[in-house]
Amino acid sequence: TGKPLTPDITLVKGTEYLKVFIKYGSPAGMPNWGTSGELNDAQDDLMARYVQQTPPQPPEWGMPDMKASWKVIIPPEDRPKKKENAYNLDNIFSTTLRDAGEVAL
């Protein structure tokens, strides 16, 4: 991937440079949004100006907020104390399927 499109970089490059960059893409992996038909010239211009804006600071989501949102399904004292299967844990890879809301092994 290329450099991030953050205001410290995009403001220096300027709107015209960014419009061309968005329209035609780059060898580093930026898609050609304009010539692929995904965006028209007005949308290229809008996107170029948008990426030059400083994003607002997201609201704080600290540890107290996280703890207040916890839902304990199985209390710790009721959880298994030892391994209950024959799986070779050294040979398992897991991934989170965010869109499906599942975990895959």
What pTM was computed for the model? Answer: 0.55
Range of the domain at 13: 7-50
CA angle 38-32-12, nearest 5°? 115
In a domain, 19, yes or no: yes
Q: How many domains does the chain have?
A: 1
Q: What is the CATH number of the domain that holds 29?
A: 1.10.760.10
Residue 39 tokens read as 């965006």
The DSSP letter of residue 102 is: E
CA dist 3 and 25 (Å) reads 13
Residue 34 tokens read as 């304009």
pLDDT digits (tens, 9 = 90+) for 31-42: 999 999 999 999
pLDDT digits (tens, 9 = 90+) for 55-84: 898 889 899 999 999 999 999 999 999 999
In a domain, 73, yes or no: no
